[in-house]
Structure 1
Amino acid sequence: MASKDIYFIPEPSQWPIVASLALFTAFIGGAMILNQSPNGKYVLILGAIGIIYMFAGWFSSVISESLAGNYNEQVDISFRMGMGWFILSEVMFFAAFFGALFYARVLSVPWLGGEGHGVVTHQFLWPAFKASWPMAVMPNPTNFTAYKDTVPAFGVPAVNTLILLSSGVTVTFAHWALKKAQRTHLCVWLAATVALGALFVYLQAGEYHHAYTELSLKLSSGIYGSTFYLLTGFHGFHVTMGALMLAVILFRSLKGHFTKNDHFAFEAVAWYWHFVDVVWLGLFIFVYWL
């Protein structure tokens, strides 16, 4: 048991080195695929296996340290500060993409159309340009893919909004159950949250398939296509990671981990999940609706 006045320092770990090697291998594999190398997919798979191994091993080490009672109040405070800074970095990550969307829609498109200075700047390079959003007329059909329509807001996106908001409620119910030491309710509400997260990803994958095959909306479909896939794609990745983290918390809860007074791992994942919910509300409003 760690002393209350001694900060716990873990033993030297191999996991940062394993993580660096696995990520570098995956990066090389992805680069090989982009350069049409026939062996790229095998290198990427090898890197992915290394990443999964790293996460499993590192999680196991941290969980073992926690169960051994090595973490005191000082460690808990540092964990909370670290998670807070991590979420702030994620906020700034999405702020950059929302900023790019704002710049394209509100500033650059009107400027190119001559708004504010009376000069039509596109008349020589792109005579067919229309200063309106989304930009459905492509400047060069050889390099840009025209799309048939935008993705409607009040379809799958609206359903996914309801799903994510509901998952925020279920994870909160799970937290309340944990603080009341109601293990069964905790596991039930956590399982519901994981299921809602998986359903969100499934529906978004179907939406992508519809947009790509039937609407011809691609990354090469001008600024609308690139901002749409970058914003929604990165958010979908975050939902996937959040659902996996919640699944780990559910597994630990089923094994009897966490108490009503000691459960920061649960709180950290819940913070992350609520962050994902808030980002989606911004996406629904500014990417799909307006």
Structure 2
Amino acid sequence: MGSGGHTPSSDGHASRADGSGHRVPEGQAPEEYGDHRGRGDHDEHDHRSRWPLVAAAGAAGLYGGVAISIFGDVTDLLPSVIGIALAVVGAIVLLAGVAGWVGQAFLPPARGPQGSPTSRESYVSTTLLFLATDVSTFGALFVYYFFVRIGTWPPEELPPLLGSLVIVNTAILVASSVTFHYAHEALEDDDRRRFLGLLGATLVLGLVFLAGQAYEYYEFVAAEGFTLTSGVFGTAFFGLTGLHGFHVALGVGAIAVLCWRALRGHYGPDRDTSVATVSLYWHFVDAVWLVLVLVLYVGASV
């Protein structure tokens, strides 16, 4: 008799071996039965995602390469081509890490039970680690800005920064964080209709924020003549806001994937790993924007 043979179970029903020595009722998949011991071990092994770390390493190479390139142009101590090459390699690794992360965590159908709690915790913990590396990325640019403030202030190229547009845009981004929070709560309460509505509202608010930032850039460049090359403050301003805008664009793309999957019923109270990780990322982006507004927009105006 082979290991895949059919034998009667103790309750009189036909059963078969699941490949790990456990008996499974006939017609039922191994992962749908029992205490999931074999499946839990499999999930714990397969779902420890390394893609966030790959993306973080790529981001470090990209930003470090840009910094080396600028440093080389200013000081002539290093050829700027080294920085450019490092930035290109970093960008490729970053995109590969993001693509692998999305493909592994967000795109599989995942209509069945989520799996072991360990796999969910693994995704959440690696997302937090990725965000911790992002804090240092933004921190480096903030340090650059503070060095700018130590010099002659205000610089001649400083335009009026704090206006109604940035206030409205900030309110929009904060509102999107609130809608995302309550969308996740609705999912945990198994309220699918409310979850879809709030998640869709989050996506729309994120797109509106990006449109508002693009319009702000247009006003600065076309009306004020304020660009990335407008002195050290221009470099700091567009570097910080551009980096944040890039993060918002990535977040909007991730939320769009969530909406696409939510419409197909891929999520539930016990299937929320990708919703939880994207939510962490989005709240992080929101918090960074509030700090950026206080330091850059308000701080530059006082």
TM beyond 0.5: yes
Match in the other structure for 2:208: 199
Trace 1:98-117 onto structure 2 (pairs within 5 A).
98-105=142-149, 107=150, 109=151
Trace 1:42-53 onto structure 2 (pairs within 5 A).
none
Match in the other structure for 1:76: 120
Match in the other structure for 1:6: 41
Deviation at 1:151, TM superposition (A): 3.7
Match in the other structure for 2:135: 91
Trace 1:157-168 onto structure 2 (pairs within 5 A).
157-168=166-177
Match in the other structure for 1:180: 189
Q: Once the two structures are superposed, what CA deviation does each residue of 1:148-188 show, in whole Å capped at 9, x if it has no partner?
A: x5142122111111101111111111011111101011011
Q: Cα–Cα, structure 1 residues 173 and 206, in superposed 2: closer, same or farther, change >3 Å?
A: same
Q: Cα–Cα, structure 1 residues 58 and 220, in superposed 2: closer, same or farther, change >3 Å?
A: closer
Give the aligned CA root-mean-square deviation in angstroms: 3.5
Match in the other structure for 2:229: 220
Secondary structure of the corresponding residue to residue 278 of structure 1:
helix
Q: Cα–Cα, structure 1 residues 180 and 275, in superposed 2: closer, same or farther, change >3 Å?
A: same
Q: 1:152 aligns with which of 125, 136, 161?
A: 161
Maintained 8 Å contact 2:162/2:297: yes
Match in the other structure for 2:264: 255
Distance in 1 (CA, whole Å) between partners of 2:215 and 2:128 is: 33
Distance in 1 (CA, whole Å) between partners of 2:117 and 2:203 is: 29
Maintained 8 Å contact 2:40/2:115: no
Deviation at 1:59, TM superposition (A): 3.8
State the aligned residue count: 230
Q: Aligned letter for 2:117?
A: E
Q: Which runs of 5+ in 1 are unaligned?
A: 24-43, 110-130, 137-146
Deviation at 1:58, TM superposition (A): 6.5
Q: Which runs of 5+ in 2 are unaligned?
A: 1-30, 60-87
Maintained 8 Å contact 1:7/1:72: no
Distance in 1 (CA, whole Å) between partners of 2:104 and 2:295 is: 41
Distance in 2 (CA, whole Å) between partners of 1:201 and 1:58 is: 23
Q: Once the two structures are superposed, what CA deviation does each residue of 1:33-80 show, in whole Å capped at 9, x if it has no partner?
A: xxxxxxxxxxx9xx99xx69x83x864554437446584222222212
Secondary structure of the corresponding residue to residue 218 of structure 2:
helix
Distance in 2 (CA, whole Å) between partners of 1:282 and 1:233 is: 15
Deviation at 1:268, TM superposition (A): 0.6
Maintained 8 Å contact 1:151/1:211: no
Q: Cα–Cα, structure 1 residues 286 and 218, in superposed 2: closer, same or farther, change >3 Å?
A: same
Match in the other structure for 1:132: 153
Q: Cα–Cα, structure 1 residues 255 and 241, in superposed 2: closer, same or farther, change >3 Å?
A: same
Q: Once the two structures are superposed, what CA deviation does each residue of 1:104-133 show, in whole Å capped at 9, x if it has no partner?
A: 21x3x1xxxxxxxxxxxxxxxxxxxxx222
Distance in 2 (CA, whole Å) between partners of 1:162 and 1:5 is: 43
Q: Aligned letter for 1:132?
A: W
Q: Any runs of at least 4 consecutive aligned residues in structure 1 with deviations exceeding 6 A, and if so which? A: none
Q: Aligned letter for 2:273?
A: F
Q: Cα–Cα, structure 1 residues 258 and 198, in superposed 2: closer, same or farther, change >3 Å?
A: same
**Normalising by structure 1, what TM-score?**
0.69
Q: Aligned letter for 2:116?
A: N
